């Protein structure tokens, strides 16, 4: 494992994301603790020091799991990062905060109570890295509200030693949103977590975001480095192009090596759901081996050949609030497959598999309002339904 630095702290170049831990079959977001512990133990014994979670990952179970999983390790032997879910909160009366979106229905709370609940769940006295979760055009109203004063509150926690380093994650549409937020709270943040990979360089304007963050002299923590698995599982024609150059390398290794070439990137998070994935990724980060200029060009070609794909990262945010309990990312994968002549991975909507039947969508739009990729989900499902009828 090689290491970088964020604000003078040595961090492993590969971090373990705890949003896609192995799950118990048929039980929603419930974590398979035995398998997940194996992944954590492998990470700890192979030099990974950065562990990332958030209030709502795995329906709130991720922080609890990590708190228990790390108990056997000395607290100073790993770096813990979690996030404040302000992107799913609203101000109420008397200093109370209510939850919205996927967290709607949770009892009202205060900023202070929620932050300390996170510390308790993680069984720790402090977070090494703490982030505002998803600063975007939609969540600015909460994060910039002077009455809530979330940034000042977190800076106070930092003074008290409960936060070592403060940052924020962002799925903002525009790089300007990140720039404006950093300017408004100048000096408050020490790092930014963004979605970055060789496809999003163009479609999510990630290049401009990297430039903005670099101008502020900050380091980057990467999320969605393989775009929710899409870049780890390329269609055959694109994969053949890569294999012609490096026959032994997987698509995931190509994507991760592309990230190694960006100097501002300090940590690449990967939500590794199997031991095989973490074994391969640890090997990829044994030492820096960034793509050459020619390889970079080849990846750009691959990205351009997939620009028409619906950019779903399979984060599954949308599925939790779907009244019809539809498996939206699976249907989008099928849509992409049908449109681009790729394999359909057993996609066959029928009575036995109602969760993948787009004809059951009632068009309520609850999924689209939460999708961090701003995908027009009901429209895609309607089109998929028409394709099936044809
Ligand atoms: S459609 Fe959007 S919210 Fe749903 S899984 Fe894909 S990226 Fe996530
Ligand atoms: S629009 Fe369709 S897919 Fe989206 S939440 Fe509503 S029923 Fe589910």
Query: Which ligand 2 atom sits nearest the alpha carbon of residue 368?
Result: 4
Kindly list the protein residues whose Cβ atom lies closer than 6 A to any atom of ligand 1.
312-318, 328-329, 332, 371, 373, 375, 377
The pLDDT value given to residue 89: 93
Q: Report which bound ligand comes closest to the CA of 326.
A: 2
Confidence of residue 352 (pLDDT cuts 50, 70, 90): confident
For residue 282, is it within any domain?
Answer: yes
For residue 271, is it within any domain?
Answer: yes
For residue 40, is it within any domain?
Answer: yes
Q: Report which bound ligand comes closest to the CA of 372.
A: 1
Q: What angle do CA 151, 156, 160 make, to 5 degrees?
A: 145
Compute, in angstroms, the gap from residue 5 CA to the centroid of ligand 1. 31
303-350 residue pLDDT tens: 998 888 898 988 888 998 899 999 999 999 889 888 876 656 567 787
pLDDT at 255 over 60: yes
Compute, in angstroms, the gap from residue 73 CA to the centroid of ligand 1. 34
Pair (216, 336) in one structural domain: no
Q: Which of 63, 65, 56, 71 is nearest to 31 (CA)?
A: 65
Q: What mean pLDDT comes out for the span 288-296?
A: 98
Q: Are 266 and 13 in contact (CB under 8 A)?
A: yes
**Residue with CA closest to ligand 2 atom 7:** 361
Whole-angstrom CA distances from 241 to 233, 280, 295, 373 are: 13, 21, 11, 27
For residue 310, is it within any domain?
Answer: no
Q: Are 84 and 127 in contact (CB under 8 A)?
A: no
Pair (328, 286) in one structural domain: no
Pair (271, 332) in one structural domain: no
324 lines ligand 2 (CB under 6 A): yes
Q: What mean pLDDT comes out for the span 179-183?
A: 98
Pair (33, 106) in one structural domain: yes
For residue 53, is it within any domain?
Answer: yes
Which of 335, 357, 363 gets mutated to test ligand 2 (max ligand atoms within 8 A of its CB)?
Answer: 363
Whole-angstrom CA distances from 219 to 5, 155, 177, 225 are: 8, 19, 17, 16
Pair (340, 268) in one structural domain: no
Boundary (domain end) residue, out of 304, 329, 356: 304
Pair (296, 376) in one structural domain: no
Alpha carbons 137 and 372: distance in angstroms, whole number: 11
366 lines ligand 2 (CB under 6 A): yes
Pair (264, 295) in one structural domain: yes
Compute, in angstroms, the gap from residue 31 CA to the centroid of ligand 2. 25
For residue 312, is it within any domain?
Answer: no
Pair (146, 260) in one structural domain: yes
Compute, in angstroms, the gap from residue 353 CA to the centroid of ligand 1. 20
Whole-prediction pTM: 0.90
Pair (13, 151) in one structural domain: yes
Q: What mean pLDDT comes out for the span 190-219?
A: 94
For residue 309, is it within any domain?
Answer: no
Boundary (domain end) residue, out of 304, 329, 344: 304
Pair (293, 323) in one structural domain: no
Which of 354, 358, 367, 382 gets mutated to test ligand 2 (max ligand atoms within 8 A of its CB)?
Answer: 367
Boundary (domain end) residue, out of 258, 280, 304: 304
Compute, in angstroms, the gap from residue 100 CA to the centroid of ligand 2. 17
100-131 residue pLDDT tens: 888 888 999 999 999 999 999 999 999 999 99
219-246 residue pLDDT tens: 999 999 998 888 998 988 999 999 999 9
Q: Report which bound ligand comes closest to the CA of 358.
A: 2
Compute, in angstroms, the gap from residue 139 CA to the centroid of ligand 1. 18
Pair (219, 184) in one structural domain: yes
Question: Which domain, by its residues, includes 353?
Answer: 317-389
Compute, in angstroms, the gap from residue 112 CA to the centroid of ligand 1. 30
Q: What mean pLDDT comes out for the span 280-309?
A: 95
Count the domains in the chain.
2
387 lines ligand 2 (CB under 6 A): no
271 lines ligand 2 (CB under 6 A): no
CATH number of the domain encompassing residue 114:
3.20.20.100
Which of 324, 329, 382 gets mutated to test ligand 2 (max ligand atoms within 8 A of its CB)?
Answer: 324
For residue 311, is it within any domain?
Answer: no
Q: Say which residue, 342 or 375, is predicted with more confidence.
A: 375
Query: Which ligand 1 atom sits nearest the alpha carbon of residue 317?
Result: 3
The pLDDT value given to residue 292: 98
**Residue with CA closest to ligand 1 atom 6:** 312
**Residue with CA closest to ligand 2 atom 6:** 364
Pair (278, 321) in one structural domain: no
Q: Are 29 and 58 in contact (CB under 8 A)?
A: yes
Compute, in angstroms, the gap from residue 332 CA to the centroid of ligand 1. 9
Compute, in angstroms, the gap from residue 369 CA to the centroid of ligand 2. 10
- For the chain, percent of residues with pLDDT exceeding 70: 98
Q: Say which residue, 202 or 55, is predicted with more confidence.
A: 55
């Amino acid at each position: 494992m090689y290491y970088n630095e964020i604000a003078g702290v040595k961090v492993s170049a590969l971090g373990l994301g705890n949003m896609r831990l192995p799950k118990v079959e048929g039980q929603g977001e419930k974590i398979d603790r035995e398998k997940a512990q194996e992944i954590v133990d492998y990470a700890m014994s192979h030099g990974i020091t950065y562990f990332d979670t958030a209030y709502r990952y795995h329906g709130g179970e991720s922080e609890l799991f990590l708190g228990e999983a790390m108990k056997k390790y000395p607290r100073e032997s790993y770096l813990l990062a979690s996030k404040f879910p302000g992107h799913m909160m609203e101000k109420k009366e008397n200093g109370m905060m209510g939850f919205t979106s996927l967290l709607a229905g949770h009892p009202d709370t205060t900023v202070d109570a929620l932050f300390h609940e996170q510390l308790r769940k993680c069984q720790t006295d402090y977070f090494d890295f703490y982030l505002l979760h998803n600063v975007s055009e939609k969540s600015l109203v909460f994060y910039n509200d002077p009455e809530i004063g979330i940034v000042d509150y977190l800076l106070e926690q930092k003074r008290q030693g409960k936060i070592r380093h403060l940052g924020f994650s962002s799925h903002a549409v525009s790089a300007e949103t990140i720039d404006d937020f950093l300017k408004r709270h100048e000096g408050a943040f020490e790092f930014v977590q963004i979605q970055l990979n060789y496809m999003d360089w163009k479609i999510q304007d990630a290049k401009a975001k990297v430039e903005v963050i670099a101008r502020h002299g900050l380091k980057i923590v990467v999320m969605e480095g393989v775009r929710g698995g899409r870049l780890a599982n390329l269609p055959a024609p694109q994969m053949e192009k890569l294999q012609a150059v490096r026959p032994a390398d997987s698509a995931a290794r190509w994507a991760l090596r592309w990230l190694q070439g960006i100097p501002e990137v300090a940590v690449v998070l990967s939500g590794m759901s199997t031991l095989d994935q973490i074994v391969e990724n640890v090997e990829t980060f044994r030492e820096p081996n960034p793509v050459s200029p020619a390889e970079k060009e080849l990846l750009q070609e691959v990205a351009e050949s997939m620009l028409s794909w619906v950019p779903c990262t399979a984060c599954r945010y949308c599925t939790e609030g779907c009244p019809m309990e539809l498996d939206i990312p699976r249907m989008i994968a099928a849509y992409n497959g049908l449109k681009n002549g790729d394999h359909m991975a057993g996609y066959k909507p029928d009575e036995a598999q109602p969760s993948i039947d787009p004809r059951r969508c009632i068009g309520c739009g609850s999924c689209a309002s939460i999708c961090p990729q701003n995908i027009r989900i009901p429209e895609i499902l309607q089109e998929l339904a028409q394709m099936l009828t044809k």
